Amino acid sequence: MADASFFEYYLENGRAILLFDGLDELGTPKLKGVVRNRIQTLSTSYPGNTMIVTSRIVGYDNPFRLDEREFAHFRLTKLRLHDMEQFVEDWYRVRIENESERDASVQDLIRILRDDEHIAIRELAENPLLLNY
């Protein structure tokens, strides 16, 4: 395990990438506010670093939203059918070594995604975080 000086070096030199995932998932409004304030303080104290904070839209509105003057805000776009198919192929390529098993899994899921009788599944799959389950 690295000691604190390792992290301090990168933070102080603006060469760190800090990832904070799931701000919306914090248990209480008070905790969300505390964490948001600490992230903003960290950003101000160590400028030049890259910070990525993720949150679903629900649970991220004011007063928990990060200051837009300091943080750029982005929304993930929904996947189109072509994107879903590519995602499925890429996902299974790294998850299943056996080629025939992998191809069968890919084709089964793509068939479901293309089928109008499974529109609800396709709508869920527009979100890549749900598509990989």
46-67 confidence digits (pLDDT tens) = 999 999 999 988 878 788 899 8
**pTM score of the predicted model:** 0.68
Confidence at 84, pLDDT banded by 50, 70, 90: very high
Both 65 and 9 in a single domain? yes
Both 67 and 116 in a single domain? no
108-121 confidence digits (pLDDT tens) = 999 999 999 999 99
Both 71 and 86 in a single domain? no
Both 56 and 27 in a single domain? yes
Q: In which domain, by residue range, is 111 found? A: 81-131
Both 31 and 45 in a single domain? yes
Both 31 and 59 in a single domain? yes
For 29, the enclosing helix (H) or strand (E) is helix 29-45
Both 61 and 96 in a single domain? no
Both 66 and 104 in a single domain? no
**Number of domains composing the chain:** 2
- Compute the half-sphere exposure of residue 55: CA atoms within 13 Å on the CB side of its CA: 18
CA nearest neighbour of 79 among 12, 125, 39, 117: 125
